[in-house]
Amino acid sequence: MDLELTQAELAIYDEISRLAIGLWDASKNVSGLNTDPKMFSIMLYKRLWSNHRGFTILWNEGLLLEADIVLRSGIETAICIAANFRTGADFIQLLRRDAAHTLQGQIKLHRANGEHDLVKEGEETLRDLQKRFGPGEKAERLNWKSLADQGQVPQLYDFHRMLSGVSAHVTGLSVLRSLAGEGADALRLHTKKMHLMMMAGATLQASMIHAGMIGDVSNVEAASELTDRLNAISLSWPGVKQ
């Protein structure tokens, strides 16, 4: 595998970025109820486009660790876009349950610190969320593997898991791999190349799904064409079966 980025890889990243710009502009003209999965897709896509831009800036500045942190957030958002597309109202309910889980933790912390006003506010919000729970439902944290399975994007979960262990979180491996030594330069080049392609792939996959969600046929077709080209480019990457 060539560790240096190719012109084809750089070019398709730029084209995916331009596709995302156009798709976000089209998204801003869509209206609907705040309970509509389509509107949730728009909110998520806004976040993904922000992640994509932030990653690109950090990557261009050579801040690869910081770029990886944003990349992981972008992959999470892409997973959510896919899960929302496949499950609709069920995904929205998962968001409510995750919000309730977070509030429970915050309320416990505020209570321990004697912050009674914050406890009261948190409990009011929590009760409002719980009113929308179905029979047997309870507060529960989002499960990224389950979401990726529901959204039919297992590769994005693989990316998410890898980044969690090797760069996005402070782990033994993430610290030790930054030490100078034999192979360090090669690893840096490999990471710089492949993580740019991860961002490209996550944004492209989510863009096709989101364009379908809002009925943007032209951008679905553009994303499909870029996907074919990215798949052809990826044949030279390690672990890709031809």
Taking the model in full, what pTM does it have?
A: 0.91
Residue 69 lies in a domain: yes
Residue 230 lies in a domain: yes
Residue 127 lies in a domain: no
Tell me the residue range of the domain where 70 lies. 7-87+144-234
For residues 73 and 79, what is the distance between their CA atoms, to the nearest angstrom?
10
pLDDT per residue as tens digits for the range 192-206:
899 999 999 999 999
Q: Does residue 184 surpass a pLDDT of 70?
A: no
pLDDT at site 176: 66
Domain count, the chain: 1
* Average pLDDT of span 5-24: 97
CA separation, residue 30 to residues 22, 52, 53, 120, 215 (Å): 13, 21, 22, 37, 10
Residue 174 lies in a domain: yes
Residue 135 burial by Cβ neighbours in a 10 Å radius (0-12, 13-18, 19+): exposed
Residue 136 lies in a domain: no
pLDDT per residue as tens digits for the range 22-61:
999 999 999 999 889 999 999 999 999 999 999 999 999 9
Residue 82 lies in a domain: yes
Residue 51 lies in a domain: yes
Residue 122 lies in a domain: no
